[in-house]
A = this chain, B = another copy of it.
Amino acid sequence: MRVAVIGLGKAGLPLASIIADNGFEVTGVDTDERKCEDINSGKNPIPEEPGLDELIKMHGGKNLIATARYEDAAHCTVFIIIVPLFVDELYNPDFSILEAAIRSVGPLLKKGDLVVLETTVPPMTTEALAKEWLEEESKLKLGEFYLAHSPERIMTGYSISRLKEFPKVIGGVDTESGLKAYEMYKKIIPNLHLVSDARTAEYIKIIEGCYRDVNIALANELLKIADVLGVDFYEARANANHDYCQIHLPSTGVGGHCIPLYPWFLIKEMEKREKFRYTRLLRTAREQNDEMVEYWAEKIVLECLRIDKPLNELKICIEGITFRAGVKELHHSRNLALANLLREKGLNVFVHDELFRRAELEKMGLRWIEPDEADLVFNCFELKMRRSV
């Protein structure tokens, strides 16, 4: 089994490494040539991922060959596509990267080959779009090749262990594809579950994200209420939670490439079908989470007013600007949105983040400060304000 992994990002590279570690020849394709060189020389481009260093060192340039050229994967029989999917400003999925990757795989397909889409996608993407693009480019028909969806379930910081232990689902666009894909993937993923079809696999991954999003929105809503009532939300949460009650942690909202996008996949799909009332909870949760920055901004402003200094002289530090603690990634970062919102209000806003050097932040147009030098520090992960006096 020779496997091509298209996309060597935070999801793709751990997967490619695990497949190589299982003794298979892996060709990793990524547009970033420098990253490919690093991998081939045994250097891990995602050092924050525990366990990945060793795997890249062991297999990079050997069992795992990284390349920017699709044709280098022509000898493979299994093609795994694991590239990013974004949404546009109206939250519609933007398939351009995915389409380019799938269309580039098409010409490499030979009879009997298997394509597995790992990117989390809106329902029906695999059976409709991916199939169409592959058939067009390969001049083969489904049945001559196999097509399945197995959504990545990794989480930066836990990717290797997730691949080794966590349950993973796979579903084919037809019965044969499902069986073929299950058989192949079972050699790599120990905790693998075959589901009815690709659409079910797509839906499973999406609703997992929806569960998280709605429950974070609930925690955020309950925190606001607790604040109004003068109740310590964290004390209450600790005492409310038990086997049948799993209230999540509140936040500045939900950022990153994953969870905040998935509810939109369902919302937009239902809108297309004029089922507007079928996603009211998902939509409300989405809005609730995205609006949390307004809540925190107001709290910060009120705290500023209690400091005996003119507002325009007062230095506010937003501490922690990544979308999640410990991950150097800013996509849909609500903490950054909070800093921007405060700046729009005319406040004197600075940022600080252990994962970014001063120069990096200033290059992004942000003003850097040492928390000790600010009058007020808001820690975005602890949701705590402190005055630095």
Interface residues of A, Cβ cutoff 8 Å to B: 123-124, 166-167, 169, 193, 195-196, 199-200, 203-205, 207-208, 210-212, 214-215, 217-218, 221-222, 224-226, 228-232, 235-237, 239-240, 242, 244-247, 266, 269-270, 273, 275, 277-282, 284-285, 287-288, 291
User: Once the chains bind, are A211 and B247 in contact (CB under 8 Å)?
Assistant: yes
User: Once the chains bind, are A245 and B211 in contact (CB under 8 Å)?
Assistant: yes
- How far is B124's CA from A287's CA once the two chains are assembled, in angstroms? 29
- How far is B298's CA from A277's CA once the two chains are assembled, in angstroms? 14
The answer, among B193, B211, B275, for a CB contact under 8 Å with A218, is B211
Chain B residues positioned under 8 Å from A167 (CB to CB): 239, 242
- How far is B196's CA from A164's CA once the two chains are assembled, in angstroms? 43
User: Once the chains bind, are B281 and A208 in contact (CB under 8 Å)?
Assistant: no
Chain B residues positioned under 8 Å from A247 (CB to CB): 207, 211
Q: With A275-B228, A280-B284 in contact, is A195–B240 under 8 Å at CB?
A: no
Q: Is the interface of A mostly helix, strand, loop or mixed?
A: helix
Chain B residues positioned under 8 Å from A200 (CB to CB): 231-232, 235-236, 239
Chain B residues positioned under 8 Å from A244 (CB to CB): 212
Chosen A-B contacts, 7 in total, with CB atoms closer than 8 Å, are A167-B242, A200-B231, A200-B239, A203-B226, A207-B236, A208-B240, A214-B214
Looking at A167, A193, A278, which has the most chain B CB atoms within 10 Å of its CB? A278
Q: With A169-B239, A214-B218 in contact, is A288–B279 under 8 Å at CB?
A: no
User: Once the chains bind, are A239 and B204 in contact (CB under 8 Å)?
Assistant: yes
Chain B residues positioned under 8 Å from A166 (CB to CB): 242
- How far is B208's CA from A231's CA once the two chains are assembled, in angstroms? 15
- How far is B272's CA from A229's CA once the two chains are assembled, in angstroms? 12
The 5 residue pairs across chains A and B that have the minimum distance between CB atoms:
A284-B284, A203-B231, A204-B240, A224-B278, A221-B281
Known: A207-B236, A225-B269. 13 other contacts (CB 8 A): A123-B229, A124-B229, A169-B239, A193-B239, A195-B236, A200-B231, A203-B229, A203-B231, A217-B281, A221-B280, A225-B266, A228-B270, A281-B281
The answer, among B169, B211, B278, for a CB contact under 8 Å with A225, is B278
Chain B residues positioned under 8 Å from A246 (CB to CB): 211, 246
Chain B residues positioned under 8 Å from A277 (CB to CB): 291
